[in-house]
Structure 1
């Protein structure tokens, strides 16, 4: 091998090492960028979640929570699901002109404006959980997946109780929780 061939071999190895180093640096940069993007989350924050325990062998309940849109764009809660329920719907409770409370599904979803929050609560907008695969006792939890138009799927474990983090719920004079509107 001549001196020229030896120098060309070293130069080629050096170029390969530089290209490999650049490729690894780019891969590391992309990994960090994706990790930061994932850390930023969906722009949706869910808090104060709770679900009513079922009564007896009941297979229907309602879930309540606070949804905060910490993103820069408005989003829409399109629906929800649970592996423990046959059907989950977003409902709105309205008072009719005749003074009767009626629930109806929100067909167009629930708008969550950018930088604002929406609270789902008893007597108002809530998540109806129907066809549960078993009774839901106080202290248990219900897995829910909230489906947002932009943020996508947000999974929440919802504790069964009488209010957020088992805070006092809406009780009547006898101390019983009011389930009449569900």
Structure 2
């Protein structure tokens, strides 16, 4: 074998291995979606996002055909002590060798204008878009039985007084 053949084989092997390595940088664990009531026109998805890379990454978008609109949201308290759900267009930072929770009462993926009723056991296909890792497809089971405290809080779709 010539040096050129060995070099080309090495380049080809690295090119094929690199996407698998990149795909493993972002790992999604414990995803689930829910609606607050059976006939809701909105819903949300929650999960833990782990970054196994050496650099911070940014979750900048989410896409799904389950609803007319999909946004990254969070809950924040305003000056009057009222909790509000807000769209976060810049997304969420996933720290290098760290994790970020999308949880009820906190950061989450919001589905607005659901195209269908979400039933317990259904699966929602979502594509999470990261600045560095690119597109990460996730199959998210609908879990309408999970208790509100799992994932750190509760979900609501409007303003409410903080208890």
Give the TM-score, by structure 2 length: 0.83
Match of 1:55 in 2: 37
Check if 1:148 corresponds to 2:130. yes
Check if 1:41 corresponds to 2:19. no
**Cα RMSD (Å):** 2.3
Matches within 5 A, 1:14-25: 24-25=5-6
Give the SS at the match of 1:55: coil
Higher strand content, 1 or 2: 2
Check if 1:170 corresponds to 2:145. no
Check if 1:71 corresponds to 2:53. yes
User: Using the alignment, how far apart are the partners of 2:89 and 2:20 within structure 1?
Assistant: 32
Please list every run of 5 or more consecutive structure 1 residues that lacks an aligned counterpart in the other structure.
1-17, 172-177
Q: Per-residue displacement from partner, 1:59-102 (whole Å, max 9, x unpaired)?
A: 31010011111101111111101022211111110122322110
1:28 is displaced (CA, Å) by: 2.8
1:138 is displaced (CA, Å) by: 0.5
Match of 1:80 in 2: 62
**8 Å Cα contact 1:142/1:159 also seen in 2:** yes
Match of 1:32 in 2: 13
Give the SS at the match of 1:30: helix
Check if 1:102 corresponds to 2:84. yes
1:37 is displaced (CA, Å) by: 1.1
**8 Å Cα contact 2:32/2:47 also seen in 1:** yes
Paired residue total:
154
**8 Å Cα contact 2:129/2:135 also seen in 1:** yes
1:32 is displaced (CA, Å) by: 1.5
